[in-house]
Structures are given as structure tokens and as C-alpha cells.
Structure 1
């Protein structure tokens, strides 16, 4: 039985948050300061993060994706002038059923979107995990040569294929569109397969840039 959509404060951004990833936030716009005040007043301390497809993070009027991630606030520091510095972590996927008016801050009715049941044998899923992990480490090593690695190639990755399927998306040197596409994949098997393809393409592109002698 599908759960009824629930209201959630939403933070549209120009970046993609996936489950397991850590996302620092610097909150200065008045309406988002109000959002943070409201979120921190709740026991769950959760907000939704979605990608802005077109438009700006500041001022509204943006076009947003309908699939995002619940971010849990694990640390919050307020400055003397009222700005917030947050550290959040991606917890689980959500799908937006309907956007609500942006006043006083962006809100939406959302439902959780867990991974689809997967009948892939465990040894096959482990093989896909191992391949994706190898490729993300290779991609990060090449990105390091270009000075563009988001995290070290030695980053810890889970032995659990489902968790790892999100971690390689978060760690890999991929653009927002690719990360969003992988976030929207129904299950771990397909996510690992598609991540491996995208990481392989990223490696080839970065190696070509190195061969040409420039960033």
C-alpha cells in the first residue's frame, strides 16, 4: 500500500544529493533561514533536497526535479548575523507528489521512494559492486591528476551493493545531470551498471584531456 504524501520543507539546489552523501549548506537567504528554524524545531530535523534543472538557487522562479533525497541535519551552527552553517547527510530517496506554494519557503508533498525489489543473485550483484568500485577509484585517481577529484581515490566504500550503488554516484567525478539520472534509477543493479558506464566514459574523457596537456 502506497503511503500518503506528507509535507516537507524543500531546499532546491544546483547540486544533487544522494543517500549516504554528506552535504554542507551555507544558508543566508531569509526564507531559507526561516526554513532551517522550522526544520530544527522538529524531532526529525529533516528537509528535502532536489536539483534545480533551470534557474537560480536564490530568489525562486526555478524549475525543479521531482526526485530528490531527504537530508538529515547532523550539525547546525548559527552566526551572529543570522546565517546558518549546516552539515547534512542524505538518508533516503523521495518523490515529489505536488509542490506547495513557496511562501514562507519551498514546500512539497512527498513520498519515500525505496529501491525496487531486485531478484538479482547476490554474487552477481557483488560483481557489479566490485566493478563500479574499481571504476570509481580509477576515475578519482585520474581526476586527481587534473586537480579535480571531489574525494580521494582511497575513499571508504561499503561492501553492501545497495549502499555502494549510491556511494559511487556521490564519490565519482560526474556532473549533476548524470548524478540525477542515477538517483532516479529504480534499483541497485541498474544503478551499478549505469554508473560503471558513466564512470568509464568519464575516465576516457579525462585521460584525453591529460593527453592534450591541459585541464
Structure 2
């Protein structure tokens, strides 16, 4: 367990994704300053379930990921441009009072033990994603190789990162992204991704039927 700086966002960030940020709000300028004093500058990112990023008063989710700062541009007067890479999944155990920025007691949350997820099962979902993008392209009179959409996702080091990579390629809502992130096991994550693809496919077919 550790108490770390937190940056709530109106987007579910997944391990493996890049996160560019422009910092100008004083409390988050303080967060960046404190992070840059660390040996490994990082902060936690969670989804804002209700409310807004600016000004506080938000309701924050309890599952997120660590954002490791990889590049910093300091423009002075507390203004920064950051490039971050999302990495380890975290679970918030307790929120601390904002001082001046959000802080929380967290623990790293790797996947819990469960049924193994094989490559064949992930390939089936991958095929559904490919078919979905090719269906959209045909409806627009275009040609797209859906394999280009998922290219490289299978280079991930494990099933968890493979599933995160596929999720990141889908135009789905934050709740669906959060369901994938918060799934306790790899098998549950696969099921959440499958449900998201099926929901998106049904929505696409409904929209196309009205054209």
C-alpha cells in the first residue's frame, strides 16, 4: 500500500495507453512538481464517475492505473505539457483529503487467479472486432482491412495487455472501458470485452438499418 497523487479524468485509461496532458490548474501544477521529485515520476488515474475534472466535487471510481511520466515540457508559471504511459492497474483503498490535489491510499492490483485465457479465445473476439470495422466500412462504401485495426495487439506480453490493447481500439463508452479495466480476472476481462463488442455491433446494425 502507498499514498500517491491522483488525477481523476473523464476517461477510463487502460494499461498500455499513452496519456498526453496539459497542466495549468494550480493544484495539478503542484502534483506535477511533487511527481518530478520522485525517482520514478508517476501518479494514479481513475475515471470520474460523476462530476467534472475542473474544480473538484467529483465522484471517483476506485479502479485505475498508474501513469508514468515519460516527457515533460515546463512552460513556467505552473504550466506543463506531459506525456505519460499507463502501466500497472491499481485499486483505491481510501481517498485522502485533497491537499491541494487528490491523493489516495492504493495497492497494485494484478489479475486475480482464475481460468486461463488462451490465444484462441482472444482471437475469436479479435475476429469479431475485425468484422465490425469491415461492416462499417462497407456501409460507407469504403474498403478497410479490419486486420489493420487490431495489428500489433497480439504482441502484448500477456493476455491482460492483449485484451487492453484490443479494448483501446474500440469506439466504446467509458462505462464499457471501465468494465474491462475493473474485471478481476483475465477471463472476466475477456467476457467484458466480448459484451462490449456485441453491444457495439448491435448499435451499428441498428443505426445502419435506419439509413
Q: Is the 8 A contact 2:126 2:150 kept in 1?
A: no
1:129-156 deviation line (CA, Å, top 9, x unaligned) = 112222333444556778xxxxx72542
In structure 1, what is the equivalent of residue 91 of structure 2? Answer: 95
In structure 2, what is the equivalent of residue 135 of structure 1? Answer: 128
Aligned residues: 201
Q: Match for 2:49 among 48, 53, 56?
A: 53
Q: Is the 8 A contact 2:51 2:57 kept in 1?
A: yes
For residues 127 and 73 of structure 1, what CA distance do their matches in structure 2 show? 35
Gaps of 5+ in 1: 147-151
Q: CA 1:92 to 1:137, structure 2 compared with 1: closer, same or farther past 3 Å?
A: farther
For residues 143 and 29 of structure 1, what CA distance do their matches in structure 2 show? 40
For residues 85 and 140 of structure 1, what CA distance do their matches in structure 2 show? 33
Gaps of 5+ in 2: 141-147
1:64-122 deviation line (CA, Å, top 9, x unaligned) = 011111111111112255321111111111111111110121111100100012342xx
Q: CA 1:140 to 1:100, structure 2 compared with 1: closer, same or farther past 3 Å?
A: farther
Q: Match for 2:162 among 161, 164, 175?
A: 164
TM-score by length of 2: 0.86
1:155-191 deviation line (CA, Å, top 9, x unaligned) = 4202442211111222211101111111111111221
For residues 33 and 136 of structure 2, what CA distance do their matches in structure 1 show? 38
Structural mapping, 1:132-211, within 5 Å: 132-141=125-134, 153-159=149-155, 160-211=158-209
1:7-60 deviation line (CA, Å, top 9, x unaligned) = 110000000111111111121211001101111111111100001011110011
Q: CA 1:134 to 1:8, structure 2 compared with 1: closer, same or farther past 3 Å?
A: same
After superposition, the CA RMSD in angstroms is 2.0
Q: Is the 8 A contact 2:172 2:200 kept in 1?
A: yes
For residues 140 and 82 of structure 1, what CA distance do their matches in structure 2 show? 42
